[in-house]
Amino acid sequence: MMKVHILSGGESAEREVSLRSGKAVAKALEQAGYEVANLDPALANIDKIANCDIVFPVLHGAGGEDGTIQKQLEKRNIKFAGSGSKASALCFDKWEYRQVITAAGLPMAKAATIKHHEHATHELAQSVHVLKPIAGGSSIDVHIVRDLGKIPHEAIAKTFERYETMLIEELIDGTELTVGILGDKALPIIKIVPPEAGEFDYENKYNGASQEIVAPEDVSPKIQKAARELALKAHQLTGCRDFSRTDIMCDKSGKLFLLETNTIPGMTDQSLYPKMALATGLSMPKLCKTLVEFALKR
């Protein structure tokens, strides 16, 4: 029986989500007929990996999605699912990602990197904006400023204590879409509808309060097609492989703006990527089996 070693957990702020992803992937691969072993790099060195046919990393955040674990696996000539170390590092760094995407002429909102003392006077802070870590995910430590009269200065100051430099972005008012890539094909889009008077933040990503609508009827086929094409271009430009998920904003005029590309999208039972795959007829076991097969062919 073919053996797959799953890496989940880790030490990032996204540890709990990663553990849930790992549990879901393990269950799916067992159902698909694989022998499965789990390893949490926070508790054991990856040198413990032995006698397996493939490694399946579902480590979200720093240490897992930033190319660190991928580089170690590459040095050991161990086959693994997902993007390699270079693409992982590039997509994890939102500023470097932006340089590649905008150099290719793909649309993104205006942005800059700033330190705390620059925030109040920065030109992008004079209108609605978003503050986010340059490297990170799951909307952790993200501040969405929709009302300049209610800027959470104290909370922002505390966030800057954790990050010397942050990314400030023009806030695009519109609809958030997300598109998964599997192999070289775009999956159906998902429209994200946060709870009323809420944001699609860390809490609302996992508490079931947000609506996640696959191939939404109120988004025109033209925009859905354009979003899928844009996500595939981002996937290819950044050198991703196997799977990714790209977040996109659609403004009220129908113009699309890339936000970011996730090289290890969430794989929990509430995650967006498996829902997209399911819409094409791929159950979780079939999806995970497909990703293992991609890696085995390399």
Q: What is the CA radius of gyration of the chain?
A: 19
Specify the amino acid at residue 86.
Answer: K
206 is catalytic: yes
How far is residue 245's CA from residue 263's CA, in Å, rounded to a whole number?
Answer: 7
260 is catalytic: yes
Active-site residue identified among 138, 141, 170, 184: 138
245 is catalytic: yes
266 is catalytic: yes
Alpha-carbon 157 to chain mean position: 25
262 is catalytic: yes
The H or E element containing residue 144 is strand 143-145
Helix residue ranges per DSSP H, the chain:
15-31, 68-75, 85-92, 94-103, 116-119, 153-162, 202-206, 221-237, 272-279, 284-296
Active-site residue identified among 53, 74, 139, 206: 206
169 is catalytic: no
Collect all residues with Cβ–Cβ distance below 8 Å to 119 and sequence separation of at least 6.
125, 131, 156, 160, 168
Active-site residue identified among 8, 88, 262, 271: 262
77 is catalytic: no
Active-site residue identified among 65, 212, 242, 260: 260
According to DSSP, residue 93 is labeled B
Q: Which residues are catalytic?
A: 14, 138, 206, 245, 247, 260, 262, 266
